Structure 1
Amino acid sequence: MPRNFLILIVFAFLSGCATYGNDIQTALDYTQAGEPSKAADAFKKVIQPDSSDRILYYMELGVLKHLSGDYERSNQLLEQAERIYEELYTQSVSEALLVAMTNPTLADYKGQVFEDVYINYYKSLNYFFLASQASGRIARADLFDSALVEARRLDNKLTKLRSEQGSFDDAKEKEEETFTQILSLFEKFLGNYIDQEKLVFRENAYAHYLSGLLYEQQKEWDDARISYQKAAELYEKGYADQVGVGDDMIGQAWLDTIRMMQKAGGWGSSIKKLKWEKLDDDLRDKLRDYRNSDAELVILNHLDFIPQKRELDFVMYVEPSRKEMVLTPLLTGSAQQSQDKYAWFWMMYADKGIFDVVERYSNGGLDNVVRTIINKRVILGPAWDVVESLGIDSALKDGGVRVAVPYYPPIREISSSNSVSVNGSEYTLVKAESLARHAINEQVLNARTDLYMALARETLKNTLLVETSQSALGESNKLLEFGLKALTATTARADTRTWLTLPAEILVQRIPLEEGEYDLRLTNTFVKSGGLVSADKQVVLKKGDIHVWRHRSFPQLSAAKQQTLVKAAAEGQKESTGFSSWLK
């Protein structure tokens, strides 16, 4: 038993060396540099189609094929990702035990709820662009139908999700119940300042909006109206607040709803009512412009990358004299990284309520209150007999153990201005979606569970280590026991995997135009890496056309990263992630 346990520890340590982190950055840098083929090669060196990261393999490469214009291959990869997501929906008991004994990165990455939705989003776009490129009328119609099939599959997923999580209306009704208000008050007194109901991913207004665009392309006016209206109502009822979308997108969705009512006919009084209730003067002017236009230009601007999860380390130990367990965050890294880690710790874990302060004061005076500001202290007094009987006190003494959980740095402003110029006329892009907010919202909802699982995992590993080392080597081998605990500490890992080639935000602009030739320039002014990035395109619009320009915008790579990629290309390989970099 002791020998097998030590082998398991060493195996977990060696497995942990193949991380998702630093090598992935090279692939992202190639993507940012506009070289998706090299990015795909870099991803393939880090993630494999038969590994625990296999769903990421297909999702990441699926987006890269989309960016390179290979829409058919992109769909094949994303179809495989969707099948894997369905297969991994239920975790096996054996896998759960492996995670408990080692670290969560050894388990299959199952994907997040919003990621599953965006598999169908990209498949819809792929079919849309394949249809736009098709030469035959029948082939074109079949591909547009396939795009609509993906839109309906996406809608079915959202319907199922809404039935499980409730709608925004349900959340509002719950919020207004007297008991819920009282409960919320006490939660804040007890230190929980996060209203989790406002963060739950229960719908996707932007996905419905895209469905409306696909239906409109096929002249299915009523289906388009239903999708646009559903998007508009979702934006209004809570989705816009959830992802940080402003009123401009709400107005755009209502404008498109009204346009479809006009095309379908029979909505006279409703149109008049909605025009004055939902549209401002500028949008009413734009609605009139559509009546005089022959065609339409639609801009879908995918911006930058979704943020990367990071790892926050704690030292966990017990104070037998106080019968308390203490968690101390390790605020390592740059000044900004240290600040971000502390902000996450304070938001998610620190004791903040007045009841906590009184309890800390009662159990140790002002000194205990002050120390709580930078620690998380858990009183184990009533359960101390259980702590001793399980050997937890022995496992967590002598310097304690290391615990790791995932976290996100705060979302910082990506761009200060975004616009498209059409033959010299300037139009401002409107934020329609924030995948960055979805990612952080989901992590906030999972943060406490992540911590509890990490605490249990590391306590279990270290308790078994103490028991087996003492029974095999005797209680006098403290130095060897400490060395084994240090080795165990290196296996403490947070699961920081996520679909990284997704954009952070999606911006939209729709412009009614007459048929003719147009010179387009899309301009983004990024805050980070300072500067203005632009892309040009020429289009010829014919009567009845809806031309969609999907463009992915990135800030320019820093000089250091550019040099790294040049060096990697010259050497024919990326920088390797070795033992020392894994420990950082």
Structure 2
Amino acid sequence: MRIPTKIWFQYLSVGVLAFWLNSCGITYNDRSFEFQNEVYYRNFDKAAALIEDNKFLSKKRNRLLYLLEKGKVEHMNANYKESNQLLEEAYTLIENRITSNTGQVIAANLTNPMAAPYQGEDFEKVMIHYYMALNYFQLGMPNEALVEAKRINIKLQELNQKYKKNKNKYAEDAFAQILQGLLYEATGDINNAFIAYRNAEELYTENNSSYYGVHLPLQLQKDLVRTSKQLGFTQEYKKYLKQFNLSENDIHHSPAEAIIFWENGLGPAKDQTQITAVDGAFIAVDDANNSIFIPIPPGTNLGITSIAIPKYVQRESYYKSARLIYNDQQTSFELAEDFYPIARQTLNDRMLREAVNIALRLGAKKATSAGLGALAKQFLGEDAESLIKTGADIAGAATEKADTRNWQTLPATISYARVPLEQKNNTFIIEKYGISTDRDTITIPYKKGLQLVSYYDVGKATTNYVPPTYKIKQDTLPPPRVKKIIAKDSVSRFKLK
């Protein structure tokens, strides 16, 4: 039986509206809850399996997101080779410039940006190289690890160069310089280690000793003093002793040491907020009183004056601080990277650059509602035009949704501590303080030189968790891109005079 045109239009309007009203409140954080929950309880095998089975991540437009989430979980599960293969594919996908096909562009304009392929936030793109660096180091390939560490600030600079206006304020990463310094030390290159440490210290000094929520670490101060002394830079050695108010007794060096990175909590998740136009611009103020101003291009007839934009929501970590206890000594972990202020700043900068795209999306919805109204008038008369047009405007507002996709298995913070190793299996107690006080132990075998070790606290420590004994694995993974990158002088932000 043929459905009358009038009834068909009514079904269409009601159906579209009901579908989108039911689906628009779902964020990527909701869709990824199951595997995040397993990560929270350190069930990394199960988390990896759930990522594989996640229907949302299996969509082609979410390929990058799948690679990032799975690559990080495999890293935490000590599957370093598998992790690097996934992250290498993510890097290649980004370098090939992820593009949308015509259908995806239309869908994104008529519904919301989540219909287009996920391209990643700029700070997520550089964190790929951090985890690849750690993977290579654990695979016994410190030189390749160093190459990846250098790429962090190189990639930040490359990304910023392509923006003509509203460039990223987060254009350099102090922690990346610290990581470079540590890896240079691990390969015996004290001269370049000193330069990297000095580059990091300069970033802190230029920003009143605080960089994106992180204060100048005491360990960085000690590393600068120690390496300047090792190199015989007497002037710099005396300068830093005085500048940091340190004495020679504060500086220790052992032939065998370990850097233990403590990844704590889960990084910020994206939600959305609806904002309306005021005096030619969209203005939003979030819960932390951080404002964002998005100008409306002159002459733009939006029709719909409410837009949805993404916002980062900080997720509280179970633990607030931690320390290492060993051989009747103790040392506290120092904060090295805090992802919430970095994520928030990167997103704000991107929103300013995408003001025109936001206006175009709203304009497309307005044009669609006008077209449906004209079609209704042709078939059903003038009375139906207003009804259908209003319904389409309501549906357009209902589908106005922010892109809430983001790399959700990143930690909230990364802290680190430097400890000496004795000629035995070295056991360290990690004592964490938060809602409760909990302890874990970690064992690191003796090996001359500097080792890098990662330890994870996503949620509350579980009693049945046994952290791995860290070893420098002998597995080999063919190093991609090494020759191309080593040719670049990416080490020195400031050269030695």
Same topology, TM > 0.5: yes
Amino acid aligned to 1:520: F
In 2, Cα distance between equivalents of 1:262 and 1:165:
41
Asked if 1:220 is matched to 2:189, the reply is yes
Cα deviations by residue, 1:87-121 (Å, 9 ceiling, x for unpaired): 22666777555432331011111112211111111
Q: Give the Å deviation of 1:213.
A: 1.1
Cα deviations by residue, 1:176-203 (Å, 9 ceiling, x for unpaired): xxxxxxxxxxxxxxxxxxxx88x71111
In 1, Cα distance between equivalents of 2:199 and 2:286:
40
Amino acid aligned to 1:523: E
Cα deviations by residue, 1:242-288 (Å, 9 ceiling, x for unpaired): 411113x1x4224223333333x3423332232222x3337x4331x
Taking the TM superposition and a 5 Å limit, the aligned residue runs for 1:138-177 are 143-160=141-158
Q: Give the Å deviation of 1:430.
A: 0.8
Q: Give the Å deviation of 1:325.
A: 8.0
Sort the Cα spacing of 1:147 and 1:54 in 2 relative to 1 into closer, same or farther, 3 A: same
In 1, Cα distance between equivalents of 2:317 and 2:29:
23
**Equivalent residue number for residue 440 of structure 2:** 535
- Specify which structure has the bigger relative contact order, considering alpha-carbon pairs within 8 angstroms and separated by 6 or more residues: 2
Cα deviations by residue, 1:311-370 (Å, 9 ceiling, x for unpaired): 112467x9xxxxx789898xxxxxxxxxxx7536872259xxxxxxxxxxxxxxxxxxxx
Contact between 1:308 and 1:408, CA under 8 Å: does it hold in 2?
Answer: yes
Taking the TM superposition and a 5 Å limit, the aligned residue runs for 1:474-485 are 474-477=381-384, 478-485=386-393
In 2, Cα distance between equivalents of 1:458 and 1:52:
22
Contact between 1:162 and 1:203, CA under 8 Å: does it hold in 2?
Answer: no
SS in 2 for 1:460: helix
Asked if 1:43 is matched to 2:46, the reply is no
Asked if 1:124 is matched to 2:133, the reply is yes
SS in 2 for 1:490: helix
> RMSD between aligned alpha carbons?
3.8
1:203 to 166, 172, 182: 172
Asked if 1:507 is matched to 2:391, the reply is no
Contact between 1:23 and 1:42, CA under 8 Å: does it hold in 2?
Answer: no
Taking the TM superposition and a 5 Å limit, the aligned residue runs for 1:528-567 are 530-542=435-447, 544-556=448-460
Asked if 1:87 is matched to 2:96, the reply is yes
**Equivalent residue number for residue 257 of structure 2:** 296
Contact between 1:298 and 1:549, CA under 8 Å: does it hold in 2?
Answer: yes
Sort the Cα spacing of 1:158 and 1:258 in 2 relative to 1 into closer, same or farther, 3 A: farther
In 2, Cα distance between equivalents of 1:326 and 1:266:
58
- Of 68-77 and 104-113, the range deviating more from structure 2: 104-113
For structure 2, which runs of at least 5 residues remain unmatched after alignment?
1-7, 463-497
Sort the Cα spacing of 1:441 and 1:534 in 2 relative to 1 into closer, same or farther, 3 A: farther
**Equivalent residue number for residue 562 of structure 1:** none
1:101 to 98, 101, 110: 110
**Equivalent residue number for residue 180 of structure 1:** none
In 2, Cα distance between equivalents of 1:216 and 1:122:
18
Contact between 1:405 and 1:451, CA under 8 Å: does it hold in 2?
Answer: no
**Equivalent residue number for residue 308 of structure 1:** 269
**Equivalent residue number for residue 37 of structure 2:** 29
**Equivalent residue number for residue 466 of structure 1:** 370
Asked if 1:286 is matched to 2:250, the reply is yes
Contact between 1:52 and 1:109, CA under 8 Å: does it hold in 2?
Answer: yes
SS in 2 for 1:53: helix
**Equivalent residue number for residue 334 of structure 1:** none
Contact between 1:32 and 1:557, CA under 8 Å: does it hold in 2?
Answer: no
**Equivalent residue number for residue 275 of structure 1:** 241
In 2, Cα distance between equivalents of 1:225 and 1:159:
22
In 2, Cα distance between equivalents of 1:164 and 1:325:
27
Contact between 1:9 and 1:488, CA under 8 Å: does it hold in 2?
Answer: no
Taking the TM superposition and a 5 Å limit, the aligned residue runs for 1:136-535 are 143-160=141-158, 200-238=169-207, 241-247=210-216, 249=217, 251-263=218-230, 265-277=231-243, 279-281=244-246, 284-287=248-251, 289-290=252-253, 293-314=254-275, 343=287, 347-349=291-293, 395-396=303-304, 403-409=307-313, 415-448=319-352, 453-472=357-376, 473-477=380-384, 478-526=386-434, 530-535=435-440
In 2, Cα distance between equivalents of 1:204 and 1:461:
40
Amino acid aligned to 1:118: M
In 1, Cα distance between equivalents of 2:315 and 2:23:
31
Cα deviations by residue, 1:380-433 (Å, 9 ceiling, x for unpaired): 9xx8xx67xx6x6xx55xxxx753111123676874432111134221111111
Amino acid aligned to 2:200: A
Sort the Cα spacing of 1:446 and 1:152 in 2 relative to 1 into closer, same or farther, 3 A: closer
Q: Give the Å deviation of 1:156.
A: 3.3
Q: Give the Å deviation of 1:82.
A: 0.2
In 2, Cα distance between equivalents of 1:553 and 1:411:
14
SS in 1 for 2:61: coil
Amino acid aligned to 2:390: F
In 2, Cα distance between equivalents of 1:434 and 1:32:
19
**Equivalent residue number for residue 188 of structure 1:** none
In 2, Cα distance between equivalents of 1:23 and 1:161:
29
SS in 2 for 1:408: strand
Task: Return the TM-score normalized by structure 2.
Answer: 0.77
SS in 2 for 1:494: coil
**Equivalent residue number for residue 136 of structure 1:** none
Q: Give the Å deviation of 1:209.
A: 1.1
For structure 1, which runs of at least 5 residues remain unmatched after alignment?
132-142, 167-195, 319-323, 330-340, 351-375, 559-584
Which has a greater percent of helix? 1
* Number of positions where the alignment pairs a residue of Structure 1 with one of Structure 2: 445
In 1, Cα distance between equivalents of 2:442 and 2:461:
22
Cα deviations by residue, 1:36-58 (Å, 9 ceiling, x for unpaired): 12212222314445511111111
In 1, Cα distance between equivalents of 2:330 and 2:138:
26
In 2, Cα distance between equivalents of 1:225 and 1:165:
32
Contact between 2:136 and 2:145, CA under 8 Å: does it hold in 1?
Answer: yes
SS in 1 for 2:129: helix
In 2, Cα distance between equivalents of 1:449 and 1:154:
22
Amino acid aligned to 2:148: E
Q: Give the Å deviation of 1:308.
A: 0.5
**Equivalent residue number for residue 467 of structure 2:** none
